[in-house]
Structure formats: C-alpha cells, structure tokens
Amino acid sequence: MDIPYSSMGTIEDYEATWKPKRIQFRDHVRCVASLFKRYFEKFKTSDSWKVLIECVDEITEPGVRVYSGVCTVQVQFHVDTFFSMNDLEKKETTLDLMRKGIYTIISEEGWNEAPFEKAFEQVMAVKLVNEWFWKKPLLSSDRKYKASLYIVHEVTVVKAYLIILNKNNREVLRLEAFKERPNEWNYARYLGKLVWLSQNEVVLFNKNNETVRKATVSYEE
C-alpha cells in the first residue's frame, strides 16, 4: 500500500512534507499487510506478481493498471485521517482499504476470490494480532532447552524476543533481541540464524553473521 505524491511541487517540497508522511503510512500499514501476506497462499496470474493499492484523495486513474508485473489500483481515502487514529483503528482501516482494492482487482481481472477471502478470514480470526515465531525451536546439544525468536509486529514498532524453554516447555528466559521500525524489510536484516554456543548459551546472529543478542540460562533453571 502506498500514498503516491500527486503534487506538482519541488523535490524539496516532497522531501520536507510528503516523504515523512509516506514512510510513516507505509510502515504503519505493514502490521496488517504482512499478516495477510503470511496467511495468503500462492496464487498465479498471467501477468502480475504483486498488488499495489494506492490510497488517494481523489481517484484519477480508475480501473486496474498492470505495469512490469505490478497490478495497481486506486482507493479513495483521505490519508490525513489515518494519522489521528489509534492503533486498532489503523489496523481496521488498513484491512478495509486492502479489501476494497483487492476486490476491485478481483472483479476486473476475473481472479478467484477464494484464496483472498481465506486470508482475510484468518486475519480476522487472530483479531489483527501479528505475532509469530521465527523458524522452529532450536534444541541445545544436551536437549534440555529450546530456543526460539518471537516476533511482535505492532503498528508503530516491531519487537523480537529471544525465548528459552526447558524440557518441560516452561519458559525460563525471555530477552528483547531487537526493536525496529514496523516494516519487515527493515528488520529482516536481524534474522540470520540462531546458534547454541554451548549447552546453556544461545545467540542470534544477523545476516552479516554479527551478534544481535546473546542469552545464557543458569543451570538451576
């Protein structure tokens, strides 16, 4: 989702007035958009690999446009109202805008609506909460502990927690691994690999093999 710059202003005007707003909007819709994407099953079309919903004050290009595999549609929305909403309202509005845009495309392109509706239903089933475990739990060499990374994707921030369970599946340690802008392309750099350095010490490495967070469990736990 995006809010295209429609003014005939200067580059300086865009940088000063529109770019910060655009970045914030794109970040704040990712909570719901990425949740939908995670539930959405593979879907093939003849000419598109991506859907882009443009939120505009007035629709200037009705209908669906496909360019370089990007299927674009405009949805009328006064974006300034978005920034005065609370987080739940932003989530609900994001989902509503996605529905309007996607179903316009489905209608015009003749796509099967079933996989889209299924994803929408799953998003609603979890009440718009975007929290998930990254990869499967990693066992320590003595099989006493399991380590995992838990991602909490809110509207305004993403936090990740390094969680360790004992062999009875009781949580014995939880540490904040990182905190970042609410955009998966921004925090993906932290998601390299989890490694047990010893029987009670685990570390999260980023994609450059640098330490993000280390956790040590006392054997008493």
Q: How far is CA 181 from CA 30, 42, 166, in A?
A: 10, 27, 31
Mean pLDDT by 10 residues, the chain (221 residues): 76 78 95 96 90 93 92 94 96 98 95 96 98 96 95 98 95 97 94 96 97 87 50
* Torsion over CA: 30, 190, 179, 123 (sign): positive
Instruction: Specify if 2 maps to a domain.
Output: no
Residue 53 sits in which domain range?
Answer: 11-125
Instruction: Specify if 6 maps to a domain.
Output: no
Domain shared by 77 and 143, yes or no:
no
Domain boundary among 125, 145, 167: 125
Contact, 11 vs 138, CB < 8 A? no
State the pLDDT at residue 13: 75
| Residue count (the chain) | 221
State the pLDDT at residue 207: 96
Domain shared by 28 and 67, yes or no:
yes
Domain shared by 34 and 85, yes or no:
yes
Domain shared by 121 and 76, yes or no:
yes
Domain boundary among 125, 153, 177: 125
H or E element that contains 87: helix 87-109
Domain shared by 82 and 147, yes or no:
no
How far from the centroid of its chain's Cα atoms is residue 96's Cα? Answer: 17
State the pLDDT at residue 8: 65
State the pLDDT at residue 109: 92
What is the spatial distance between Cα 145 and Cα 37, in angstroms, rounded to a whole number?
Answer: 31
State the pLDDT at residue 139: 96
How far from the centroid of its chain's Cα atoms is residue 42's Cα? Answer: 17
Domain shared by 120 and 149, yes or no:
no
What is the spatial distance between Cα 31 and Cα 151, in angstroms, rounded to a whole number?
Answer: 11
pTM above 0.75, yes or no: yes
Contact, 200 vs 219, CB < 8 A? yes
